[in-house]
Structure 1
Amino acid sequence: MRLGRPIFNSDGQILVGYQYELSQSVINKLQKMGIDYLHIEDAQTDDIIIEDLIREETRVNLRSSLLHILDRVASTSYDPKTANGQLFKLCSKSVSMVIDDLQHQDTIMLMNMNVFQSNAYDQHFIQKAVNVCVYATKLGMVEGYTGEDLDTLSLSALLHDIGNLKVPREILMKRSLLTPFEYAEIKKHTEYGFKLLKDEAGIPITVAHVAMQHHERINGTGYPHGLKGDEIHPFAQWVGMIDTYDSLTHPRAHREAVLPHQAIEILYGGAGTLYDINKVRQFRNRVALFPLGLSVELNSGETGIVSKVNTDFKHRPVIRVLRNPYGEPLKQPYEIDLSRHLNVMIARVGEAVGSK
């Protein structure tokens, strides 16, 4: 197999080049680096055009900004009152670029970035910040937010978890169950985030409130203050719901990821109690849970890739079946529309061999 797209390091430089011939040892190394998806050249799927939501230039800018934040905010000497608006200067351009890139996008199809961060902690922080920012920004556009409101929502989503930089890394990356003390320490990240952002020059106070409130839930069971309903800022409700989805669909140190449609079911299970039901519906209607080019295994045992996203049923895409249940390549691949064959389900995403 040859790479269909290059893989970048944290500075935006090419780590593995376009059309590089992959071996199993190289794939194993990339997996250890935390790269979950690869784009592979394949004559059977060359007609499927995968367009990025945001340009590589935007991704590089986001990575650079977030890496600077990691370095500065994690320092014990960092003081927002004397930082001269460093956070705002770092992030304002990134947010503007994200908004510009998303202006003409309709459906959200977001894959993990093909980028190797310096360590697992950095990778987790950067990936989540970017994902939540892109989802929230596009959904904000759908809601009709413009100008300063859209800028604030996008910035809030990018910085919502900044308080985690003040939580001990060994707790955040712990692989076993957390003790009550450790869980209480993690919950403090909302308050740490508020304190970091409220005095930062240029940062709207709403951004600080979103950092504080994104784990509040509309029935009052969230933290840190047990706010209910309209007591929670609408931006914090959006970011909190999206943050949950992103966390569920990506593996963490102590658990495996769940499938995208299972994560949506979990959100719907909390609709009306934990999350605003209209926001959950908007998310489901706008986000392609299974993006174009994603390798999947069906409950029949057959494997293939997502070849088309159905406009009205984004959670039930068209699958191009490439291999039979025994793993043997089909001489004549065929497509199955899951919106028309409701008994066929996606059982797993990704391939051990690391295809699209």
Structure 2
Amino acid sequence: MRKVHKIIVSCVIGLTMLLTPIISYADDNATNTVASLTLSDATKMALAHDETIKKASAEIDRTKSLRDNAQDAVQFTPAPGNVYGPQIEVTWTGLLRADLAYRSSLKNYDAKIDTVELDVCKKYWDVQVAQEKLDVQDKLKQQALVNLQNARAGVASGAVAQSTLTLAEAQYNQALNNYNLAQHALDDAYTAFNQVVGLDPSARPQLTDEVSFEPLQVASLDTAVSQVLEEAPNVWQAQQAIDLKQWAFNMMYSSGTYTPYDAREKELEEAKIDYETVKKVMAQATRDIYYQVKQLEEGYNAALEAQKMAEEKLRVANANYSAGTGVKADVVAAEVALAQANEALDELVRQHAYLKLAFEKPWAVSSTSSSSSSTSSSSN
């Protein structure tokens, strides 16, 4: 049995477990409607439900069998740089390829887990963001209704022109439309989340885990990028391809037929170029994520201050209304402003938490979409 990687989120989620218990968990829960879900539970369900992980596990067994078979066929271990007969070279390079395929399958399995863990975090938080956006639209709808009621009363008393009422009616209808759009967005977010964790599309579990803001601590960006390059599966595979091409370069019959020196030299050169390209792309992706994280951190204090100001304005509006010196419309407007400030701050915090995870394992970001598609297809 294979141990699942850990992924650390801001709210501290421990995910060390074995694949077999994960699958059992899915059998018990995946098709049932649940009232609430923590992020940890959602991640367990997603890991158990994802077909790409099951396929990657089967691929490990398949490539191991092929590697073992290729190893049995090797009767002699060549030394690098020496010339051997076609049979020895073909058999040896066959083992090297089979061994690389097996080790690549192990790396791929771990990468699939990284991808699913990151994807379920994003979709979990996407639902929470969509819910808060719906709450904001509900507040705006209430505000538009109060304004409409005031306009109707003003027209009835002759204090307000008919054009003001017409405008208030249009604004209320727009508020209703915006609310419906936000509801659809929440439904879409839930559908995407449910597909990942294996719940029925109509399920609406309450997602209970909140995220706290914790700045990313990086002593040296260069060191962090180097660490990512050491762990990135695609960089590792590109390096292994060089090693394999190096053996092939020294063996003119490694392909089964004679391969000219120049051709073998170019194949090795191309493998090295591929390796440098993969490293460069991964390093740049890591740096890009880092700068996105820092940009969000710079905006956090401003968003927090905006929230505090909105809270104070609501406090003042409530006090004035209670004292008879304010009107209900001012209270509703202050409630709307606070809801908007809360939503903006919470969305920033969730985006920050997601990017912090992505910074640790940026290879999981690029494959998130394909993982989601595979999961969705298997659900259908």
TM surpasses 0.5? no
TM-score normalised by structure 2 residue count: 0.26
The higher relative CO (CA closer than 8 Å, separation ≥ 6) is in 2
The structure whose Rg is larger is 2
Compare the two structures and name the one with the higher helix fraction. Answer: 2
More strand by share: 1
